[in-house]
């Protein structure tokens, strides 16, 4: 059983981590000092520095705590892949939905360096700006729509050849996600969503949802054509796009230098296509 002093030290550690997480999210990592964290946690600076000599070590502790599974959560033994993957999948959901996990990602994403091209501006008069975009919301709507617009004539492939059709859609998705400025657009939405939730709604409604709907409808059409058996096109579309974005896009939000080759991107699409075909093939 922990001693009184051990329990007290753990309580102070928890207070420090909670205060640091809140302040990092509110003011940013760079603008949050250890002294300010100590004040918010109601501990002395000496106590904080004893546990976390640097801000980097404190942030390491925050990340480690958030990603720590329950005691004894070992990797399932091989032999029953369905049971093992279910265990691992449920653990992953538990981690991702842990209170504060979204806040942790917001901190990291908001603080990651923005791409240089975002700083390039073109001078226009205020009159010209307000004539085209009377409100900031309308301007943001236009930005999202432009970023998610595919090339002219990019129609949904006809059903009949799911391997070819999914490859086309997968490559289009990669092209959208790797478009210059797309990462910055997501950073804006993720960082500002707590204060301006309408930004997230706009990004989804005018951005991802139309493309997602096209993939969903395509999978439903293939199922109706008898080339695939897809009882739940929404889930199938989620799986397909998720496999691609988890390689082509989301690492960019955390790892600034993440830049897979075109060959690697094409392989990620091919693997996603193969997985969907294997899962929903007509038996």
More confident position, 5 or 217? 217
**pLDDT tens profile 187-232:** 888 888 887 888 778 777 877 888 899 999 999 999 999 999 999 9
pLDDT at position 6 is 78
- pLDDT the model gives residue 97: 85
Distances (CA, A) of 120 to 116, 117, 177, 203, 245: 8, 5, 20, 22, 27
**pLDDT value at residue 147:** 64
Count of residues for the chain?
283
What is the model's pLDDT at position 154? 63
Task: Catalogue all structural domains in the chain, each as residue range(s) with its CATH number.
Answer: 4-111 (1.10.357.10), 127-280 (1.10.357.10)
- Give the list of residues 6+ apart from residue 31 with CB closer than 8 angstroms, or none: none
Q: pLDDT per residue over 15-34, tens digit each?
A: 998 888 888 877 777 788 88
Q: How confident is the model at residue 122 (pLDDT cuts 50, 70, 90)?
A: very low
Question: Under a CB-based contact definition with an 8 Å cutoff, are residues 204 and 197 in contact?
Answer: no
DSSP label at 205? I
- Is the full-model pTM beyond 0.75? no
Give the DSSP letter string of 51-88.
H-SSHHHHHHHHHHHHTPPPTT-PPPPTT-HHHHHHHH
Q: Which residue reads 């109706």 in tokens? A: 224
Percent of the chain with pLDDT over 90: 29
Dmax (CA) for the chain in angstroms is: 70
The tens digit of pLDDT for each residue in 37-82 reads 999 999 998 988 888 888 888 888 888 777 777 655 667 878 888 8
């Amino acid at each position: 059983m922990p001693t009184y002093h051990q329990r007290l030290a753990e309580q102070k550690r928890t207070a420090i981590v909670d205060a640091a997480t809140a302040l990092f999210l509110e003011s940013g990592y760079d603008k949050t000092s250890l002294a300010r964290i100590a004040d918010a946690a109601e501990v002395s600076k000496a106590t904080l520095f004893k546990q976390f000599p640097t801000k980097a070590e404190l942030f390491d502790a925050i990340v480690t705590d958030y990603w720590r599974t329950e005691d004894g959560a070992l990797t399932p033994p091989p032999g029953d892949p369905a049971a093992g993957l279910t265990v691992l999948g449920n653990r992953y959901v538990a981690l991702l939905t842990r209170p504060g996990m979204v806040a942790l990602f917001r901190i990291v994403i908001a603080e990651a360096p923005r791409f240089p091209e975002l700083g390039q501006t073109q001078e226009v008069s205020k009159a010209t700006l307000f004539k085209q975009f009377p409100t900031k919301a309308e301007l943001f709507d236009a930005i999202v729509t432009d970023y998610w617009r595919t090339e002219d004539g990019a129609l949904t492939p006809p059903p009949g050849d799911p391997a070819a059709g999914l490859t086309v859609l997968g490559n289009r998705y990669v092209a959208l996600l790797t478009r210059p400025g797309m990462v910055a657009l997501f950073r804006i939405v993720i960082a500002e969503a707590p204060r301006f939730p309408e930004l997230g709604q706009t990004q989804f409604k005018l951005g991802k949802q139309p493309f997602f709907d096209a993939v969903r409808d395509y999978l439903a059409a293939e199922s109706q054509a008898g080339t695939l058996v897809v009882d739940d096109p929404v889930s199938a579309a989620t799986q397909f796009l998720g496999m691609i974005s988890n390689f082509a896009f989301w690492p960019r939000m955390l790892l600034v230098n993440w830049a897979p080759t075109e060959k690697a991107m094409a392989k990620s699409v091919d693997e996603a296509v193969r997985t969907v075909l294997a899962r929903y093939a007509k038996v």
